[in-house]
Amino acid sequence: YCLWAKCLLKGQSVNNAWKSSISILMQLYKNSVNEQQELNHIIDSTHEKKISGSGYVVDCLHSARFALQQDNYEDVIKTAIALGQDTDTTACVAGGLAGIVFGYEGIPQIWLQQLRGKEILKPLLTQLEEA
């Protein structure tokens, strides 16, 4: 997730950032046969055929990638939720990455207006942004 987010922050597309993240992980595990085999199993495209919305980390990342094929923030979140099962986890992961892709301005205004606790969150986000 973090590598994927980092690549998105550098301006890569969703799918290119995914591929770059995998390449980085393959390099990190190049001397570890067991870990590389596990990584190959995790990134195996058969997972993509079984998009389920499960909270299991591997399924969640594949589900987020599926949801991120949408053209706007709202549709990413709605797609993640429509997958069912562990919807809050899938939507959280997809939403975090969609925030990078579409920016704050991409979040529907009606959602932002109904957000609770923003008076607590806003100063913290300002501090984070300035750090």
**pLDDT, mean over the chain:** 93
Same domain, 22 and 79: no
User: At residue 68, what are phi and psi to the nearest 5 degrees?
Assistant: -70, 0
Which residues have C-beta within 8 Å of that of residue 15, sequence separation ≥ 6?
65
Same domain, 116 and 69: yes
Same domain, 38 and 56: no
Same domain, 66 and 116: yes
79 appears as a binding residue in the annotation: no
Rounded to two decimals, the pTM is 0.89
Dihedral sign for Cα atoms in the order 55, 59, 61, 67: negative
SS3 state at 26:
helix
Q: Does pLDDT of 15 surpass 90?
A: yes
Assign 56 a pLDDT band (cuts: 50, 70, 90).
Answer: confident
Which residue, among 8, 28, 26, has the nearest Cα to 18 in the 3D structure? 8
**Mean pLDDT in residue range 67-72:** 98
pLDDT tens-place string over residues 78-108: 999 999 999 999 999 999 999 999 999 999 9
Task: Give the range among 3-17, 34-48, 82-96 with minimum mean pLDDT.
Answer: 34-48
C-alpha 14/C-alpha 10 separation (Å) is: 11
Same domain, 34 and 73: no
Q: Does pLDDT of 46 surpass 80?
A: no
Which residues form the domain of 106? 52-131
Same domain, 62 and 21: no
Same domain, 62 and 109: yes
Same domain, 65 and 127: yes
Q: Does pLDDT of 72 surpass 60?
A: yes
Same domain, 75 and 11: no
Please check whether residue 115 is in contact with residue 122, taking contact to mean a CB–CB distance below 8 angstroms: no
> What is the per-residue DSSP string for 60-115?
HHHHHHHHTTSSSHHHHHHHHHHT-SSHHHHHHHHHHHHHHHH-GGGS-HHHHHT-
For tokens 């995914």, name the residue.
18
Same domain, 61 and 123: yes
86 appears as a binding residue in the annotation: yes
Tell me how many domains the chain contains: 2
44 appears as a binding residue in the annotation: no
Same domain, 70 and 101: yes
Instruction: Report pLDDT for 7.
Output: 98
Same domain, 78 and 27: no
Instruction: Report pLDDT for 47.
Output: 57
